[in-house]
Chains A and B, each alone.
Chain A
Amino acid sequence: MQTKPHFAFFDEGSKKEIRRATLKAVAIPGYQVPFASREMPIARGWGTGGLQLTLSLIGKKDVLKVIDQGADESVNAVSIKKLVQYTTGVALTDHTAEANIIQSRHRIPEHPLREDQILVLQVPNPEPLRKVDAREYMTKRMHAEDDYSGAWLILFEQIMKYGKMTTGAAHPVYVNGRYVMAPSPIPRFDNPKMYYSDALILLGAGREKKIYAVPPYTNVESLAFEDYPFSKESFKGKQCKLCGAEEVFLDEIINQETGDRTYQCNDTSYCMERLNSAQEKEVESSYA
């Protein structure tokens, strides 16, 4: 006999525990709250932290969007969406503006988020000081004492070795002037989107058993030096080959045969929406 799964997969006690950790995280912006990460039907390291947050938050009327590196249709995003829909029956969407809960791996959508939306980020390594000291009790102590020289030291080493800060993703941020936080491996391009964000941002690390948060309208500064200011990736002079968008995060696609480089929006739903609205306008003007 096959029984129906509980609503949102978890028993209510589990959801309550995760929500309680989430509330604490919201109350102390940037602080990593330990929680009892549940065993999930997907492997740890594949978004279990984000999935647990989503499942603890979701209600019957919510609309869910899941993205994986900017794409709505990649395997990881689709599996997570299917699991949540199977256990809750909620509506799914690709449109950022239509969703209440957006679970994302490594991107913040291009479309600006609103106050009534929650962004859930999946985090592999929540500890920005792990490179400085491998011992958890030491990094905890550093956080407690507001001792973040190690976080700056990592950036200083990069400048010494390569002449600039070389964080490809997860450039550390100072949250609310108190805790240094790893903003999940989002590109530097997305860091400024966290600054006074309208939407609540929740971050979950399932393998590392930590939940942390950036509440709406919170000061989030990227770490930098006076003479080496923070800068995001530049796509100057480049545009999406499909929709022509500029000032967005672009993927570089290299043609293996000719070696040509083309660029394309990393946020697939944003690109699709632009293409559709362009087409609608074209139809209106040509066939009216």
Chain B
Amino acid sequence: MREQPILQVKNLQKKFGEGCQHCLDPEIRQLEKNFCPYCGTIYAVHDVSFDLYPGEVLGVVGESGSGKSTMLQGLYFDIELAAGEVYINEPMLASQNVLTLSSQQKRYIRNYIYGMVYQNPLDGLKMKFSSIGNIAEKMIAAGSRNVGNIEARSKALLEDVHIPLRRMKEEPRNFSGGMQQRVQIAKALSNNPPILFLDEVTTGLDLSVQASVLDLIKQIQRELHISMIVVSHDLAVIRMLADRSIVMLNGTIIENGLTDQILEDPQHEYTQQLVYSLL
């Protein structure tokens, strides 16, 4: 019997702008990279479909502006997608396109099923609240009302991500970028979400911190069997984390398959260029 995907994504669309007679019809559309030269409408995500299986790490590679983050923010309901279907293999959400649910139900999914680590910690953390408070927020949102339990779980998570407990009451704005990123990871993991989104988690971190954050993600995946979507433009990160990868260019998927296969034998012109430019 074949395994059921935990997350099914079908034909996601996102455009910024109204569109015009030259670009609204996909048949005759003539885009310059991903934008229409006549009206300036950007087709950020165009017809993206993929499946995510339980316990799997899916890498998403592509250059800046290829629609990786937009797609992820759409999946996490931070931005509204224009069209498409997303199915989550959870009993209570069976065969429902989660993009069409009410904002309360979407919030439920964010609190219980999804975890998100943003590229910029400012998006994922409240900088005026303590680190332990930031982790607690997600548990409170999921209905936990017991300070003892919340505190114990937050402390365990902070230890997991190697943040000294003596700094737990400090605000993350006092932390270095790597530490902020690790607080975000702890927060994202607080409710044991089955699906975790990681958006450029190591970009901008120094090499030793990068290594420890990657180690941590690898360890989480091994121990908790969380399914992850890892967005990165860094092929080394993708090579280390992802089992399967998709390559995006100008808002569409141009190649997908096993990560090793893509890196060893790239088919598409852009992927070839990407792989060969790897130092």
- Complex contact B103–A225 (CB within 8 A): no
- Complex contact B146–A226 (CB within 8 A): yes
Alpha-carbon gap, A145 to B104, bound state (A): 6
A2 within 8 A of B: no
CB distance from A178 to the nearest CB of B (A): 13
**Chain A, 149-161, contact with B by CB distance < 8 Å: what is the 0/1 string?**
1101100110111
- Complex contact B169–A153 (CB within 8 A): no
- Complex contact A227–B148 (CB within 8 A): yes
- Complex contact B104–A156 (CB within 8 A): no
A146 within 8 A of B: yes
In the complex, which residues 142-189 of chain A have their Cβ closer than 8 Å to any Cβ of chain B? Answer: 144-147, 149-150, 152-153, 156-157, 159-161
- Complex contact B146–A225 (CB within 8 A): yes
Q: How many residues of B contact A (CB 8 A)?
A: 21
- Complex contact A156–B107 (CB within 8 A): no
**Chain B, 125-137, contact with A by CB distance < 8 Å: what is the 0/1 string?**
0101110110011
For B129, give its contact among A145, A147, A153, A227 (CB under 8 Å): A153
Instruction: Sample 13 A-B pairs with CB under 8 A, ordered by A number.
Output: A145-B104, A146-B104, A147-B141, A153-B137, A153-B140, A156-B150, A157-B130, A160-B132, A160-B133, A161-B130, A226-B146, A227-B146, A227-B147
Most buried by B among A159, A160, A228: A160
Residue of B nearest to A134 (CB): B128
Inter-chain contacts of A160 with B (CB < 8 A): 130, 132-133, 151, 169
Q: Main secondary structure on chain B at its contact with chain A?
A: helix
B22 within 8 A of A: no
Task: With A152-B140, A153-B136 as known contacts, state yes or no: A225 contacts B169, CB within 8 Å.
Answer: no
Alpha-carbon gap, A152 to B142, bound state (A): 12
Inter-chain contacts of A153 with B (CB < 8 A): 126, 129, 133, 136-137, 140
B145 within 8 A of A: yes
Residue of B nearest to A165 (CB): B147
**Chain B, 86-105, contact with A by CB distance < 8 Å: what is the 0/1 string?**
00000000000000000110
In the complex, which residues 200-226 of chain A have their Cβ closer than 8 Å to any Cβ of chain B? Answer: 225-226
- Complex contact B129–A152 (CB within 8 A): no
Residue of A nearest to B129 (CB): A157
For A152, give its contact among B104, B130, B145, B148 (CB under 8 Å): B145
In the complex, which residues 188-215 of chain B have their Cβ closer than 8 Å to any Cβ of chain A? Answer: none
Inter-chain contacts of A225 with B (CB < 8 A): 145-147
For B133, give its contact among A157, A226, A227 (CB under 8 Å): A157
CB distance from B190 to the nearest CB of A (A): 12
Most buried by A among B126, B138, B147, B148: B147
